Amino acid sequence: MVDVYHPKTLEEALQFRSSTGAVPFSGGTDIMVRYRTSHGVLPDLPWPIVLLGHLKELQYLRLRKGSLCIGAETTLTDVMDHELTPPLLKQAIGLMAAPALRNLGTLAGNIGNASPAGDAVCALIALDASIELASPRGRRVVSLDLFIVGPGRTILAEDELITEIIVPIGEGHISWYKKVGTRRANALSKLSVSADWAVDDNVLTHVRIALGAVAPVVLRCRDIEDDMTGMKLPEIALQREDLMNRYKCSITPIDDQRSSAAYRKQAASNLVGAVLDEMTGGR
């Protein structure tokens, strides 16, 4: 048995967190699986938890200064169904788990769990999202890309909570998402690819491609993105194989129960090829 805190406000949650070191608990859909025991027996939680999923003040979507700001405890269902949510994020969430889990799961949970296979994380990194962290010491905003540093590891301080996800609105951007899993519902990703780009007068003016579950963290290859930016689309089409190869060489997947490293390398490269085809109108 552990201490379970049910704060009434964010302020109370921050107090509990900083004074007890309680672990943030959003929807619980990862924690309750990892520490389950047997029917009728308490889950074997190794630390106290502070419940956050019910905090209304962290459940919202609103526009602010050209960005969509999403309260960190908004359920995946509510994020997916909202008219302001970018299509890429809607698509990624739509293929996560199933309705009952999406009614519990939150963006803060998907981010804090820091799995390389976190599908919302993959989409959010392609969208260049940042997150706001709060503690009794104040607030800070960090790039989501820098927040997650390894499987299950983040730079969240002992007294901090994730309070908001900030997604820049890319006017006129085109997006593409593909998840490879064993079935449509309730499958964890073997790998996933999220892409977001913009074209002006046949020139690629902006591109971000995020690859999930093919490295210790969701991966973006900024050197390749920089090289592609400013290129004419026919030029990109000509370099298709070369670009696919560069991505293939940049990723470091592992063998696990869901897939093999060799499969992930090949499939990731093929999906990058599909992104380039969509971009250039090829194939």
Q: Which residues bind other proteins (CB under 8 A)?
A: 1-4, 6, 25, 27-29, 32-33, 36, 39-43, 45, 49, 51, 53-54, 77, 97-101, 103-104, 184-186
Minimum separation from the CB atom of position 171 to other proteins (A): 30
> Closer to other proteins at the Cβ: 44 or 226?
44
Q: Cβ of residue 89: shortest distance to other proteins, in angstroms?
A: 18
Between the alpha carbon of residue 104 and those of residues 101, 196, 255, the distances in Å are 5, 27, 30
Q: How far is the CB of 38 from other proteins (least distance, A)?
A: 8
- The 203-212 sheet, strands edge to edge: 174-180, 191-200, 203-212, 219-220
Q: Tell me the closest approach of the beta carbon of residue 1 to other proteins, in angstroms.
A: 5
Shortest gap between Cβ of 188 and other proteins (angstroms)?
A: 10
Q: Give the residue with the Cβ less far from other proteins, 115 or 130.
A: 115
Q: Which of 60, 72, 217, 61 is nearest to 134 (CA)?
A: 72
CA–CA dist 245, 239 (Å, integer) = 10
Q: What is the phi/psi pair of residue 208, to 5°?
A: -140, 125
**Alpha helices for 188-257 (secondary structure H):** 222-228, 233-238, 240-250
Of the pair 100, 169, the CB lying nearest other proteins is at: 100
Cα(270)–Cα(73) distance, rounded to whole angstroms?
A: 35
Q: Which is nearer to other proteins, 153 or 184 (CB)?
A: 184
Residue found by looking up tokens 């969240």 in the block: 156
Helix (H, G, I), strand (E, B) or coil at 119: helix
Q: And the tokens for 32?
A: 């309750």
Residue 271, both tokens: 């999906």
Least distance (Å) from other proteins to the CB of residue 242?
39
| Residues 219/189, Cβ–Cβ less than 8 Å | no
- Give the separation between CA 266 and CA 283, rounded to whole angstroms: 18
